[in-house]
Amino acid sequence: MQLTGAQALIKSLEQQGVEVIFGLPGGAILPVYDPLLDSSIRHILVRHEQGAGHMAEGYALATGRPGVAMVTSGPGATNIVTPIGNAHMDSTPLVVITGQVASGSIGTDAFQECDITGITMGITKHNFLVKSAQEIPRAVAAAFHLATTGRPGPVLIDVPKDVTQSMMDWWYPSTVEEYDLPGYHPEVPLDEDAIALAVALISEAERPVLYVGGGTLKSRASAELLAFAERTKMPVVTTLMARGAFPDSHNQHLGMPGMHGMYTAVTAIQKSDLLISLGARFDDRVTGKIPAFAAGAKVIHVDIDRAEFNKVRHADVAIQSNVAAALRAFDAASASPKSLDSWWKQIRAWQEQYPLVYEEASTEGLLRPQHVIEAIAAKAAPGTIVASGVGQHQMWASQFWKYEEPGTWINSGGAGTMGFGVPAAIGAKVGRPDRTVWCIDGDGCFQMTAQELVTARLEGIPIKVAILNNAYLGMVRQWQEMFYEERYSEVYLSADLPDYVKWAEAMGCVGLRATNLKEMHDVIEEANRINDVPVVIDFRTDSSEKVFPMVAAGASNDDIMVHPLQRGVSK
């Protein structure tokens, strides 16, 4: 069967089971958009290529399947660099297809030419410049294989226009050998010696903590984690990238560790004698000052990526494995710590003394952002998915929402990409149309990518957006207040401009506003009644509200600052 390269590209995506592409056409990718008309694959036309990338990420994080985005060359390609970098930091499986100028024009500074494989070399798991139409099926199959196996990540396929326009004899690789990836071996056999060493360390532990990272979600190891944790009775912390990997309602769950983690989660790690890292990478936002991080703990480090071992923290035992397989091996060896009764007694005392708190607002005063999140959560359908941008609202959304299952918390962790929330929520809703999707956003983040609500309205993707509008770039404001003597530099945004209600309405969404407690409850109920169009709510929140607990950048986790309401109480 003779096909054009463009037809082969679309057919290859169909072979991979792709159900949706987020994209925006342009000159160099034009040939591919023609056969798309005849394909079963849904295409969602974004308003900016960054939106396409974050939607694909949101889709991937909500479904566990790779997200697919397609854009044109030059600025189309550079506009999607931020989502690619974001996906790289968070190990999110993404396949990004970029058009490229015709092969003969590459290197001539042709119109809309840019070296996107060069630009993304350091922020993709791998990328391809496809040189002939005949090679398209192999590139697509290899891209999906790379994106989804081992440590997942973004893969970019750059396709010159003459390649998509030329003819090829249809074929599709049926085995991994045909992908032609002689240097790629994502799975290694479990090191039984390392497992035995880990089991021995576990058996000696008196104060163990299961430090659960995003790799636990990526390897779909939640069931194994629950079984292992319940059998061994060990306390669990879930990082920002792992929220939902272990139920927040579980009484062994201490919450999120790190810079804005729960006091007990942070302190239990600090005082632990054994840290079992499951798909986590000792990020600086978790460790604080590295030499002071869990200084008395031995470390068992489970990761599929061996380059994570000893990168930040020495691993007493390193186990290169996906998390699920390692946990099954621990269970098979009946790995069990000593009695944890006194450890739990200590943990419960910390929990009692330093729960997560905020100050109640007066009836007429500005809203407390934490309260808004709790109020939304209280009325949210079970299984609601929450996406967020980056900043204070993100931390509160992680702290005050209870995540019970994988894929319900979608955020930008490693890169900290403002503007991630709205498009990621859209992508999540596309992937899980059965679920309610709330975007908890900040006013600064919202203004970066809000135009995608036009996409959502036109494509029938009814997400709900809660803007915690404190009129500031709140996290930067918090740092300026705490560490720069309240010298506020370029952080004020205005609560009233833009008018978020009018803006929402102009984009075909329902726009609502709440300035006090009564309005807060009313608009949440109203938003919950609307299921056909996107809803945007402008919650007016108190700009002086800060995220606590907090470990200052570079400080030891021992110096965690609790909420002012809890200060003066002896530890």
Partner 1 sequence: MSATPEPFLGTTDHTPVRHHILSVLVENKAGVLARIAGLFARRGFNIYSLAVAPAESGARFSRVTIVVDAESAPLEQIVGQLDKLVNVVAISDLSPKDALERELLLATIQTNVDNRTSLLDIIASAGAAIVDVDARSVTVMLAATPGGCDELERALEAFADVELHRTGRVALPRLGKTASA
The residues near 183 (Cβ < 8 Å, ≥ 6 apart) are none
Can you tell me the distance from the alpha carbon of 215 to that of 322, in angstroms, rounded to the nearest whole number? 8
Q: Which of 7, 11, 49, 259 is catalytic?
A: 49
Question: Which phi and psi angles does 129 have, rounded to 5°?
Answer: -110, 115
Angle between helices 5-15 and 136-148 (to 10 degrees): 30
Per-residue contact flags (x/-) with partner 1 for residues 234 to 273, judged by CB under 8 A: ----------------------------------------
The residues near 445 (Cβ < 8 Å, ≥ 6 apart) are 389, 390, 391, 393, 418, 419, 420, 421, 422
| Interface segment toward partner 1; rule CB under 8 A; list 23-31, 35-43, 299-307, 437-445 | 299-307
Residue 103 near partner 1 by CB under 8 A: no
Can you tell me the distance from the alpha carbon of 13 to that of 9, in angstroms, rounded to the nearest whole number? 6
CB closer to partner 1 out of 219 and 449: 219
H-helix segments, 409-451: 421-431, 443-449
CB closer to partner 1 out of 183 and 382: 183
Can you tell me the distance from the alpha carbon of 204 to that of 193, in angstroms, rounded to the nearest whole number? 17
| Interface segment toward partner 1; rule CB under 8 A; list 122-130, 374-382, 405-413, 444-452 | 122-130
Closest CB 184 distance from partner 1, rounded Å: 5
Can you tell me the distance from the alpha carbon of 360 to that of 479, in angstroms, rounded to the nearest whole number? 23
Instruction: For residue 270, indicate whether it is catalytic.
Output: no
Q: Which among 428, 403, 411 has a CA at the least distance from the CA of 246?
A: 403
Q: How do 208-212 and 253-255 pair as beta strands?
A: unpaired
Instruction: For residue 475, indicate whether it is catalytic.
Output: yes
Instruction: For residue 218, indicate whether it is catalytic.
Output: no
Residue 118 near partner 1 by CB under 8 A: yes
Residue 196 near partner 1 by CB under 8 A: no
Closest CB 302 distance from partner 1, rounded Å: 15
Residue 146 near partner 1 by CB under 8 A: yes
Q: Which among 479, 504, 372, 385 has a CA at the least distance from the CA of 438?
A: 385
| Interface segment toward partner 1; rule CB under 8 A; list 30-38, 117-125, 284-292, 322-330 | 117-125
Can you tell me the distance from the alpha carbon of 5 to that of 209, in angstroms, rounded to the nearest whole number? 52
Q: Which of residues 164-183 bind partner 1 (CB under 8 A)?
A: 181-183
Closest CB 142 distance from partner 1, rounded Å: 9
CB closer to partner 1 out of 181 and 290: 181
Q: Which of residues 300-319 bind partner 1 (CB under 8 A)?
A: 305-307, 309-311
Yes or no: say if 58 and 427 are a contact pair by the CB < 8 Å rule: yes
Q: Which position has the token pair 């045909």?
A: 178
Instruction: Report the residue from 184, 273, 344, 355 that binds partner 1 according to the rule CB under 8 A.
Output: 184
| Interface segment toward partner 1; rule CB under 8 A; list 125-133, 450-458, 470-478, 546-554 | 125-133
Q: Which of 125, 161, 271, 298 is catalytic?
A: 161
CB closer to partner 1 out of 290 and 333: 290
Instruction: Report the residue from 37, 109, 122, 341 that binds partner 1 according to the rule CB under 8 A.
Output: 122
Instruction: Report the residue from 129, 276, 356, 426 that binds partner 1 according to the rule CB under 8 A.
Output: 129
Instruction: Determine which helix (DSSP H) or strand (DSSP E) holds 518, and give its type and residue range.
Output: helix 517-529
Q: Which of 15, 19, 112, 566 is catalytic?
A: 112
Strand-pairing partners, residue 4, are 167
Can you tell me the distance from the alpha carbon of 41 to that of 433, in angstroms, rounded to the nearest whole number? 16
| Interface segment toward partner 1; rule CB under 8 A; list 6-14, 16-24, 119-127, 266-274 | 119-127
**CA dist 360 to 22, 366, 394, Å?**
42, 10, 20
Report residue 133 as tokens. 């139409």
CB closer to partner 1 out of 8 and 143: 143
SS3 category, 140 = helix
Can you tell me the distance from the alpha carbon of 29 to that of 97, in angstroms, rounded to the nearest whole number? 9
Closest CB 121 distance from partner 1, rounded Å: 5
Instruction: For residue 429, indicate whether it is catalytic.
Output: no
307 C-beta neighbours (distance < 10 Å), count: 10
Size of the site for partner 1 (CB under 8 A): 18
Closest CB 297 distance from partner 1, rounded Å: 21
**CA dist 528 to 40, 236, 313, Å?**
32, 33, 45
Yes or no: say if 99 and 88 are a contact pair by the CB < 8 Å rule: no
Closest CB 298 distance from partner 1, rounded Å: 19
Closest CB 282 distance from partner 1, rounded Å: 13
Closest CB 307 distance from partner 1, rounded Å: 3
CB closer to partner 1 out of 14 and 305: 305
CB closer to partner 1 out of 224 and 303: 303
Closest CB 88 distance from partner 1, rounded Å: 12
Instruction: For residue 112, indicate whether it is catalytic.
Output: yes
Strand-pairing partners, residue 465, are 439, 536
CB closer to partner 1 out of 75 and 118: 118
**CA dist 250 to 226, 255, 395, 515, Å?**
9, 10, 20, 34
What count of Cα atoms within 13 Å lies in the side-chain half-sphere of residue 220? 7
Residue 228 near partner 1 by CB under 8 A: no
Can you tell me the distance from the alpha carbon of 237 to that of 471, in angstroms, rounded to the nearest whole number? 33
Closest CB 315 distance from partner 1, rounded Å: 10
Q: Which residues bind partner 1 (CB under 8 A)?
A: 117-118, 121-122, 125-126, 129, 146, 181-184, 305-307, 309-311
Residues involved in catalysis: 49, 111-112, 161, 475
